[in-house]
A and B are shown apart, each in its own frame.
Chain A
C-alpha cells in the first residue's frame, strides 16, 4: 500500500490535527492502525523442518518479519523483494515516519541542538533509532544503519558528541548506508561528531615541535578501513595523522557552532608517505581526500569490509570463499555497498547458515516486537531493557563498536527471559500487544488455541522440535507464559 502525503495529512487531521504530529501516542497508534499497520486477518506460517528460506532472508536482511511480511515475499519473490530493499528511497515509509518524525532534535543543525538538554537529545535519538528498526519498511537499510553505526562507532557520552551524533546519523550513516564506501568514510572523517569522538579537532601541527594527535588516524586504519592485520605500520598511522591536522570545529556562533572548518595554520603541509604512496607537500585541505583515496582503495580494506559484512549477514565464522568473492566485488565496483550486499544475500552460502547466529539484544528485542506486531512508542521503560543488557544505542564507549559474535552476550539470557515473559503478558512499559489478534490470524478456526508448534512456526520459521514440544507441554494452549517461553527459547535467541 502506498500512502500519499495527502492521505496521511487527511487522516491525521481527522484524528485531531496537530496533536498527532506534536506527539500524542494514542493518536499516532490509532492513525497507524487505520492506515494499515496491523496484523493481517490470515497468516500462513512456514511448516517445514528447516527454517523457511524467505523467513531466513527477512531475519538477516531485516529484523525479522512483521506479521504478513513473509506472505508478501512469497507472493512477489525473494529477488524482487531484495531489489526493493536495495532501493529504499522508493519504498514508502509513511507509517514509520508517523512515529519517528516527531523527534525534532534529529532534524536540527548541530548549532540548534546545543539549545536542548542532554536527556532530550539522548532520548530522541535512541527512540528514533528503535522505532525505525521496528516499524520501517526499509528493513535492509535499517540493518545496514546498525552495521555502520557500530563500524563507525561514536559514543554519545563523550565530549559534545551528544549534540552532534544525530547529524552524523543522518548525514554520514543513513546517507551512505547503501551508497559508496569511500563517500561514507570521507563524510565520517570530517563529521563533527567523529572529530570530537576521536579527537580529530585537536589534531594540529602549527609548529614543527607539535606532536599530532593520532587517535582518529589509528582507528581509521585499524577499524574503519584496512583492519588491524591490514599491513600498515606505526609510521603510516603517524603520517595519516599529519594529513588530518588542521580540521576544527567552530566553538561559538548561533549557527556556526559545531560546524567544521579547515585551519591551514594548524595543518602540517609537508610531504607525507602513507602506505607507500606519496602525498606531495602543499596539499592543504586536499590531503584528506588523498588519504581517504589511498586507504579505501587498499586491497586490505576490501578484504576487511567483506569479512565483516559476511560475518554480519552469513556466519560468525565467515566462509573464506564467499569473503573472496565479496572482496572482489567490493574492489570491482569501487566500494558500491549495494552491489556488495546483493552478492552476499544471493550467494549459496547465505542459505547454508540458517538460524546459526545469535541475536544481539537490540535485534532480539526488535524481532520480538515485530513478530508479535506490537504497538510501541519506545519510551524509556523499553529502552531500559537494552541498557541493562549492555546494548543501549550509541552507548558503546570504545571505537570498535558493539561486538557481533555470541560470546559477550551470553550473560544476557535472564533479561531476555524477563523481557519475553513481560511482552507476552502485555506487561512491558510503553508497549501494547494483542495476542488475541495474532491468534486469530494464525488459527484456521476460532475453536482451537495457539499451541507450541504454531508459535514456533510463526516466530522461528520452522516446525517445533519434539524437545520444544515436550518442554512446553505442561502449559495450556493460548497461555501467555507459553508465548513468553517461545520468545525465551534458544531457537528465538538465534536467527
Chain B
C-alpha cells in the first residue's frame, strides 16, 4: 500500500454504478471477538486430563457427565461449551470448521497491539498501510459500491482501513437524511458539491455516504424478514447479524461484512458452564446459529469467520479468571468450508509439568495469515496474496472446497 501514490489511491475511490458491480460475489462475514476470547472453553479438549487439572474451577464437564451441565460432544477429543447447542447442527452438517492453535507472532500481550496486528495483517512490529480487508478490496479486480464492504456498528474497523469504500451502519432503516423542512434533494446536491470539492479522505467519505443514502433508499422497498427458526438474540450483536442477513438476501453485492462482539477479557470470575463467559458464548452461538438458519439458502456463497486477538492462558488465575495467552481456535461456517472437523491439536496441554507463573498460553501453530490467505484466495477469488499480506508466505492448510 505504501507504494501507491495519493493520486492513484484517490482514483481508485471512484464508485461504480449498479450495472458495473460484481454480481454473485462471495460474502465474507468477519466476526471479531474483542478482548481475547478463551476459546479453550468453547471447544473443550475433554480428552486431555491436563485441561481439568489446570482449570480446577473453570473447566467444563465432559460430555455425558451426570449432575452438571456437560459439554456437547463433537468427536473423540473435542466438545462444545454447553451453551453452544445452536452451532451443533452446522458441525454435524459438515459446515462448521474449527482450527486450533491459530495466532500471531505478537508477544506483547496487548489487546490493542494484537488486534491492530491481526486486522492490519502484519508481522509483529512491522507496520503496513491499511487493513487486510482494505488491501484485499483495493487489490482485487472490479469496482466497488458503498455496500461492497459494510461494518455493522458505529465505527470503521482497522481491518477495513484503506478500503476504497466502506460503510458503517447499525441498521438499514436508519440510513436517511432527515430535514425539519426544506428540500432533501437540494440539500443532498449541496452536500455532494461541498464534499466533492474536498480533496482529502473526508471528501470521499462524504461521497460514499451520499451514494449509500441513495442505494439504501432503493433497498428499503423490499423488506427482508428472518426466515422461520432464525431467532436472533435481542442484543446489539443479534441485531447486527440480522442486518447482515438482510444485506445478503437482498443481493446488493455485499463482499465483506464486519461485526464485533466484545466482552471477552475475562480476567476475573470467568465462570464455567454458567457465568460471565458462558452468557457471552451463548449470545455468540445463538446469534451465529440464527444467521446460519436465516441465510442457509445462500450458504454456498457466504462464509462466516470468527476470530479474536489472542487466546487466554491455559491455567486459571487467583481471581477465577484467565490472563492473556497466545494461540486461539478460529472457526468458520459455510458450505465452502471443510467442516465437521477440528484441525490442529493442543500439544502443550499434553506436556507436563505446565509452567504456571508468568506468561504462557497455547502455542501458535498456524499463523493467522495462513488462514486468511486461503479466505482471500479460495473464497474471495483474489490471487494477489502478495498485496494483501506483503512479505508473508502462507503455509498451506486447505480449509476450503473449490465449490460448495
Contact = CB atoms under 8 A, between A and B. Distances in A.
A332 interface: no
B130 to A, nearest CB: 10
Contacts of B112: 222-223, 228, 398, 400
Given A398-B35, A407-B156, A211 B357 contact: yes
Contacts of A426: 180
A204 B319 contact: yes
A380 to B, nearest CB: 17
Contacts of A303: none
Interface string A386-423: 00111100000110100100111111111001100110
Contacts of B268: 199, 202, 213, 215
B345 interface: no
Interface string B168-210: 1110001101111111001101110111011011110110010
A480 interface: yes
B187 A481 contact: yes
Given A205-B318, A238-B358, A411 B205 contact: yes
Interface in A439-495: 465, 467-468, 470-472, 474-475, 479-481, 484-485, 488-490, 493-494
B113 A228 contact: yes
A397 B317 contact: no
B180 A421 contact: yes
B319 A199 contact: yes
B132 to A, nearest CB: 15
A411 B168 contact: yes
B153 A211 contact: no
Of the four ranges (under 10, 10 to 19, 20 to 34, 35 or more), the interface on chain B belongs to: 35 or more
A470 B189 CA distance: 11
Contacts, number: 178
B180 A411 contact: no
A366 to B, nearest CB: 18
Contact of A397 (B34, B151, B166): B34
B317 A212 contact: yes
Nearest to B207: A413
Given A470-B193, A489-B194, A490-B206, A411 B323 contact: no
Contact of B110 (A205, A228, A475): A228
Interface of B is mostly: loop
A218 B109 contact: yes
A97 interface: no
A159 B152 CA distance: 26
Given A398-B34, A410-B202, A475-B190, A202 B319 contact: yes
A422 B178 CA distance: 8
A399 to B, nearest CB: 8
Given A211-B357, A480-B182, A228 B161 contact: no
B275 interface: no
Nearest to A408: B155
B265 interface: yes
A470 B178 CA distance: 23
A485 B180 contact: no
Given A411-B155, A490-B203, A234 B359 contact: yes
Given A199-B319, A397-B34, A409 B155 contact: yes
A388 B170 contact: yes
A211 B191 contact: no
Contact of A418 (B151, B177, B359): B177
A410 B178 contact: no
Given A202-B319, A421-B177, 17 more contacts: A202-B318, A204-B319, A218-B109, A390-B154, A397-B263, A398-B265, A400-B111, A406-B202, A408-B155, A411-B205, A412-B154, A414-B177, A422-B178, A465-B197, A472-B194, A488-B191, A490-B202
Interface of A: 199, 202-206, 209-215, 218, 222-223, 228, 234-235, 237-238, 358, 388-391, 397-398, 400, 403, 406-414, 417-418, 421-422, 425-427, 465, 467-468, 470-472, 474-475, 479-481, 484-485, 488-490, 493-494
